[in-house]
A and B are shown apart, each in its own frame.
Chain A
Amino acid sequence: MRIAIVGVFLALLVLLAVGLTLNPREVPSPLVGKPAPAFQLPRLGSAERFSPADMRGKVWLLNVWASWCVTCRDEHPVLVDFARTKRAPLVGLNYKDQSDDALKWLSRFGDPYQFSVVDADGRIGIDYGVYGVPETYLIDRAGVIRFKQIGPVTPELLKGKILPMIAELER
């Protein structure tokens, strides 16, 4: 009887301990393994338009950001460093932002993006299942989403996950 009680207690302890290490804000995206939703959006600060189809044949990153997003500023230096290595094209999706503010933000902190596209009303964000900025998508040559990061890209994540995945997808 006593052993059973101790057993139940330990099982509960393990269950709660595992629960504590999980992040409830990280909702697994159903879009991983699916083609990146198509869109056509104007580039930030230019009249040119961009569509994910333009990136066919390339492994690339789509980073959702906004000038109002506080965490994006923490993430920003990591992206700037990544862009310097020219390892893969990095496209920004400027989400529910004012273009003036976005351009000011980039000139102030540096622009790691090949270019950013403007999703002023957040509609494309919805198609991509965006619910917390920043978010980053790794898209392969065929235009399939291979990985999604919710929250900031950290140097550890870049080194441990994103760079190895890029290498694998480019093989």
Chain B
Amino acid sequence: MKNIAVALAMLLATFGALAREATPLADDPQVEARLIAIAEELRCLVCQNESLIASRAGLAMDLKNQARELIKAGKSDAEIRDYMVQRYGDFVLYRPPLKSSTLLLWIGPFALLIVGFAAVWIFVRRRRTLPAAALSSQDEARADALLGTRADDSGR
């Protein structure tokens, strides 16, 4: 009797799961995998620090649904990216193409790195060519006292 009650309870528990509303269009795991691969590389326009796949903004959901439809219609990844770029510009791509408007974006970090290395190099060279500072006899005596070198020497 008890076993039947437990079984019945478990069966009832599954109804809750069955009754859950299906996520629209997310039924095909292959489509979903491709969507994730594409949408990870796309920026959400509403929350600009999020990728399209991570964002739950209304527009991001719409764009993902649109991308799913394009995948099902047999479009290639490049075609889907083009679809987004045609409407929202290179801004949606996390890896924008190299062109005159994005040149600074691509080259800037390397240019800054070179400037940094150049600055370090110049600084170090200057340091090396600087004459060694001469110690006054007073300072030398103080340094010796602190280091205790003379005392050791005299004790020998």
Bound Cα distance A31, B88 (Å): 8
A131:B85 contact, CB within 8 angstroms: no
CB–CB A128/B87 < 8 A: yes
Which residues of B (1-58) have their CB < 8 Å from a CB of A?
Answer: 45-46, 48, 58
Q: Give Cα distance in the complex from A29 to B92, angstroms.
A: 11
Asked if A30 meets B86 with Cβ closer than 8 Å, knowing A131-B45, A131-B46, the reply is yes
* Residues B67-120 near A (CB distance < 8 A): 85-91, 119
Mark contacts of A125-141 with chain B using CB atoms, 8 A cut-off: 1 yes-contact digit, 0 otherwise: 01111111000000000
By the criterion CB–CB under 8 Å, are B87 and A24 in contact?
no
In the bound complex, how far is the Cα of B126 from the Cα of A122, in angstroms? Answer: 64
Give the nearest-CB partner of A130 in chain B. B59
Q: A1-B126, A126-B66, A131-B45 are in contact. Are A28 and B89 (CB under 8 A)?
A: yes
Q: Which of B62, B66, B89 contacts A30 (CB 8 A)?
A: B89
B126–A30 contact, CB under 8 A? no
Contact (Cβ within 8 A) B88 A122: no
State how many angstroms separate the Cβ of A36 from the closest Cβ of chain B: 12
B119: chain A residues at CB < 8 Å are 4
Chain B residue nearest to A24 (CB atoms) is B48
In the complex the two chains form, is B87's CB within 8 Å of A30's CB? yes
Chief secondary structure at chain A's binding surface: loop
Partner of B58, one of A25, A30, A96: A96
| A1-B126, A25-B48 given; A131·B89 CB < 8 A | no
CB distance from A96 to the nearest CB of B (A): 7
Distance of A68 Cα from B88 Cα, bound (Å): 23
The reply to whether B45 and A27 contact each other, CB–CB distance below 8 Å, is: yes
Q: Specify which of A27, A28, A128, A131 lies most central, judged by the most chain B CB atoms within 10 Å of its CB.
A: A131
Q: In this complex, what residue of B is CB-closest to A30? A: B89
What's the nearest-Cβ distance from chain B to residue A97, in Å? Answer: 12
By a CB distance below 8 angstroms, the chain B residues around A128 are 87
Contacts of B90 in A (CB 8 A): 30
Contact A27 B63 (CB under 8 A): no
Are A131 and B86 touching (Cβ within 8 A)? no
A81-B62 Cα distance, complex, nearest whole Å: 33
Chain A positions within 8 Å of B85 at CB level:
30
| Bound-state Cα–Cα, A114 to B126, Å | 73
Give Cα distance in the complex from A123 to B83, angstroms: 13
User: How many Å from the CB of A98 to the closest CB on chain B?
Assistant: 14
Whole-angstrom CA separation of A47 from B59 in the bound complex: 27
Q: Is the CB of A132 within 8 A of B88?
A: no
* Distance, CA A129 to CA B45, complexed state (A): 10
Residue contact B62 to A126, C-beta cutoff 8 Å? yes
Interface string of A28-59 (1 = CB under 8 A from B): 11110000000000000000000000000000
Task: Provide 24 A-B residue pairs closer than 8 Å at the C-beta atoms, listed in order of the A residue.
Answer: A4-B119, A27-B45, A27-B88, A28-B89, A29-B88, A29-B89, A30-B89, A31-B87, A121-B62, A122-B58, A122-B62, A123-B66, A126-B62, A126-B66, A126-B87, A127-B87, A128-B87, A129-B87, A130-B59, A131-B45, A131-B59, A131-B88, A132-B45, A132-B46
